[in-house]
Structure 1
Amino acid sequence: MSPDLATTTPAAEAVAGVDWAAVGAELDDLGGADLGPLLDQAACARVAALDDEPHRFRSTVDMARHRFGRGRYGYFAHPLPPEVVALRAALWPHLLPLAREWAERLGRPAPWPDAFGDWLHACQAAGQTRPTPLLLTYGPGDWNALHRDLYGDLVFPLQVVVGLDRPGVDYTGGELVLVEQRPRAQSRATTFPLLQGHGVVVTTEHRPLRTARGWSRAPVRHGVSVVRSGRRRTLGLLFHDAA
């Protein structure tokens, strides 16, 4: 399936129903924003079940071994799951104007073409050929250290996390955490509860922050607080491939 395929899929309909003006305002304020429901319960179950199919992943990482936190995540291999393909294709035309606006504020290049497929081709030409969408799994006591998902010189500044389990029912704890380093000020933390099927868009690297001297880059990192009980699985959607 082409990454630019524009069909009336459940994912496309869900993304079309997002209040993108409100999302843009919340991103400008916090560096992250709730997108609302993107996947239904059945789709969440299908994606979560892939955790039991190791052949679907090109690489699996034990987070404790690498001191990234505690838990496990796997990068999907090609062919990507249909839900991943559909969501990225549907989200791209809405996230792209936000990314370009941020680049303009910061006076930086905006190398992202209109077509998502053209962007993936650019990544491949730059040697970034490995897919980056991933499935993350946490159990009791697991957590994810604050980090930024940079895999090469070509980076898209926004990414989306989709909850696959029910907070308060399937697990407790495990909030999505954003920490912003503000110029000449203390860092600021924001948490997002991740409802089943809901997406949250977060800053990949930094966001523009208006200061007395104009626009500045505010570095932002994200992670996951300690899971208190149960099992928490999430789908991570990045829009640049890895070297």
Structure 2
Amino acid sequence: MAGIDWQQVEEDLNSYGCAVIPRLLSERACREYVAAYDRPDLFRSRVIMARHGFGEGEYQYFAYPLPAHLQRLRATLYPPLAQIANRWYAAMEIATRFPAAHEDFIARCHAAGQTRPTPLLLRYQEGDYNCLHQDLYGEHVFPLQAAILLSQPDQDFTGGEFVLTEQRPRMQSRAEVVPLQQGDAVIFPVFHRPVTGTRGIYRVNMRHGVSRLRSGHRHTLGVIFHDAE
């Protein structure tokens, strides 16, 4: 992760509402996460999307303690993203600021009763999809998150594109389809981001989802930085 161009990440987030980090995870690491899906001891809960109107497919939330690699990933991605988040909040005139270390932000979450870990693994098969949504789990929300594709497009699955929508005030929504390869991460807003318009900076509301899988199986690792109530 030392080679990540965080300036480019921030520029892409400001321009497009998302940024891709190529090959954040190795092929081996991706395979290990996919295999972990069938280890119930690693997870605190399993969600069948259709039961809740979320789409088709399923996902599992990791339990504490997180696997060591996932814990390092969460802690390492957070600090540069916190700098971006603080600049965003200053631009949107939101008083909240985020500490430099992830452990300090998690302590803030836990003090407010948000104690359940939110990193998750998602699994889709042919015909599955994820409705547009926002990952809000309590009062304390970190405004950026990451999704890492663990499967190889056109080899393990077809279809299943990552989709973002931007709901602009008094304007029609804008969609962004993000092409990813195995191991790539997409960084994107949890719920809103600042955009510069003719009258200054305003907030746009963001949602994300996954389009219908045409064939095969698709696995994704979701890295959310706030914990849940």
TM-score interval, smaller chain = over 0.9
Amino acid at match of 1:144: N
Aligned positions, number: 229
CA apart distance, 1:111: 2.9
Q: 5 Å matches for 1:182-201?
A: 182-201=168-187
Pairing partner for 1:99 from 76, 85, 98: 85
Taking structure 2 as the reference length, the TM-score comes to 0.98
Which shifted more, 149-158 or 207-216?
207-216
* Distance across 2 between alignment mates of 1:67 and 1:118: 34
CA distance in 1: counterparts of 2:219 and 2:164, whole angstroms: 18
Identify the match of residue 46 of structure 1 among 32, 37, 53. 32
In structure 2, list runs of 5 or more residues that go unmatched.
none
Q: Please report the RMSD computed on the Cα atoms of aligned residues, expressed in angstroms.
A: 0.9
The match for 2:112 is 126
- Could you list the per-position Cα deviations for residues 107-154 of structure 1 after superposition, in whole angstroms to 9, with x for gaps in the alignment? 102331111111101100000000000000000000000000000000
Per the TM alignment, residue 213 of structure 1 is displaced from its structure 2 partner at its CA by: 2.0
Question: For the Cα contact (< 8 Å) 2:164–2:175, is it kept in 1?
Answer: yes
The CA deviation string for residues 6-37 of structure 1, in whole angstroms up to 9 with x for no partner, is xxxxxxxxx22111111111101111110111
Residues 74-89 of structure 1 correspond to what in structure 2 (within 5 A)? Answer: 74-89=60-75
Q: Which residue of 167, 175, 195 maps to 2:153?
A: 167
- 2:97 is aligned with 1:142: no
For 2:149, the aligned partner's letter is: G
CA distance in 1, matches of 2:179, 2:200: 32
Share of identical aligned residues, percent? 51
Aligned partner (choices 52, 56, 61) of residue 66 of structure 1? 52
- Report the 3-state secondary structure (helix = DSSP H, G, I; strand = E; otherwise coil) of the residue aligned with 2:22: strand
Gaps of 5+ in 1: 1-14
Runs of 4+ in 1 over 3 A off after TM superposition: none
Most deviating of 120-129 and 185-194: 185-194
